[in-house]
Amino acid sequence: MEGMGDLLRRMPGSRENVPLSGYTSFGTGGPARYMAAPGSLQEVKEVFLACRQYGQPYLILGRGTNLLVSDRGFQGVVILTCRLNSVFVRENRILCECGSPITSLMKTAVSHCLGGIEFLAGIPGSAGGALVSNAGLKDHWISRAVREIYVLYPESLEVKNIKGDEAAFGYRKSGLADYFVYRTVLNLSPADPGEMRRKMRDNMRRRISSQPIGSMSAGSVFKNPPGAFAGQLIEKAGLKGYSLGGARVSPKHANFIVNTGGATSRDIYLLMSKIREKIRKDYNITLEPEIKLAGDFGE
């Protein structure tokens, strides 16, 4: 009888026991029991069907820029979206698959003189992850540009078209977390490419001046609680620059944790726990993680 490994081995890019440290921006994480890299919607369906048939949990992985994987790895199937990376234009709309890097969206928008997403400049990751987390700035979100989203229901393998205003977008969240986001359509507007580049450069300069760009980190670690900023709370609590093992609260922005070169996922996890405990004690506020945890972080 064919097993899970036999089935996945027939798919391009599929492997077993793959270290995930090379697939996350933290540079940490143990092995994936199975890894699949589907290149079409049909192959995505085959992977989910196999997961259901063999009772395997799954983890959808774009560019790993908002993810902390346990040192013990992930005992299931990691589904890479990197081969689902088509980006094309129809009139004033950009259609992109979930694995499309945000940088590809930006280049396509500029080359076709389509404005409206310049605020995404400098945000790492892929289109699918940006949609699920509603990526953006304090007052600009990718959800504003979303016309429709094609999602796959992992349980039924049904594909559905969700309108942008039906996706339950909110601050750093959406109603898409339980689905496989396959493709989206962004509504943009004609714009001057020179002005677009200027806005993108301004956004990049602000990020570089205030965030540890280029370090091994995963963006903002915690969501801002109502009426406050997580970074300011962490700094006021005296934890800016605080280290635990190889993990350190960034001296540049206290809501970033950086891997100084030798951190384990557990170092980062324990530092997150330390921060949450301190903020809860000092301010009676429970910080909600913005990064996603995958795998077992128990003792």
pLDDT recorded at residue 1: 42
> Which tokens sit at 167?
């996706």
Please provide the size of the chain in residues: 299
CATH assignment of 212-294?
3.90.78.10
Half-sphere exposure of 28 (CA within 13 A, CB side): 29
pLDDT of residue 264: 97
Q: Give the C-alpha separation, 14 to 258, whole Å.
A: 30
Measure the CA–CA gap between 247 and 236, rounded to whole angstroms.
19
Do the beta carbons of residue 146 and residue 167 sit within 8 Å? yes
What residues does each domain of the chain span?
A: 4-80, 87-209, 212-294
What is the DSSP code (8-state) at residue 13? T
CA neighbours closer than 13 Å in the CB half-sphere of residue 188: 30
Instruction: Answer for the pair 34, 7: CB distance below 8 angstroms, yes or no.
Output: no
pLDDT in tens, 269-290: 999 999 999 999 999 999 999 9
Spell out, as residue ranges, where the chain has pLDDT lower than 70: 1-5, 7, 11-13, 299
Question: Which residues, including other chains, have CB under 8 Å from residue 41's CB and lie 6 or more apart?
Answer: 152, 159, 182
Distance CA(158)–CA(215), nearest Å, equals 40
- Alpha-carbon distance of 284 to 240, in angstroms, equals 19
Cα torsion 87, 79, 289, 242 to 10°: value is -100
Class of domain 4-80: alpha beta
Residue 186 has φ and ψ, to the nearest 5°, of -105, 130
CB neighbourhood size of 80 (10 A): 22
Q: Which residues are catalytic?
A: 172, 220, 290
Q: Cβ neighbours of residue 239 under 8 Å, at least 6 residues apart? A: 249, 254, 274, 275, 278
Tens of pLDDT, residue by residue over 36-92, are 999 999 999 999 998 998 899 999 999 999 999 999 999 999 999 999 999 999 999
The CATH number given to 87-209 is 3.30.465.10
